[in-house]
Amino acid sequence: MTFLDMLRDATARNDSLLCVGLDPEPTRFPESVRGEAHRIYDFCAAIVDATADLVCAFKPQIAYFAAHAAEDQLERLMQHMRANAPHVPVILDAKRGDIGSTAEQYAREAFERYGADAVTLSPFMGFDSIAPYLEYHGKGAFLLCRTSNPGGDDLQAQRLASVEGQPLLYEHVARLAQGQWNKNGQLGLVVGATYPAEIERVRALAPTLPLLIPGVGAQGGDAAATVRAGLREDGPIIVNSSRAVLYASGGADFAAAARSAAQATRAALNAARV
Q: So which residues are the catalytic ones?
A: 95
CA distance 185 to 197: 25
Contact present, 56 and 20 (Cβ < 8 Å) = no
Determine whether 267 is exposed, middle or buried from the number of CB atoms within 10 Å of its CB (0-12, 13-18, 19+): middle
CA distance 54 to 45: 15
Residues 6+ apart with CB under 8 A from 188: 118, 140, 141, 142, 143, 177, 209, 210, 211, 212
Q: Which residues of 142-173 are buried (b: 16+ CB within 10 A; e: fewer)?
A: bbbbbbbeeebeeebeeeeeeeeeeebbbbbb
Give the Cβ contact number of residue 192 at 10 Å. Answer: 25
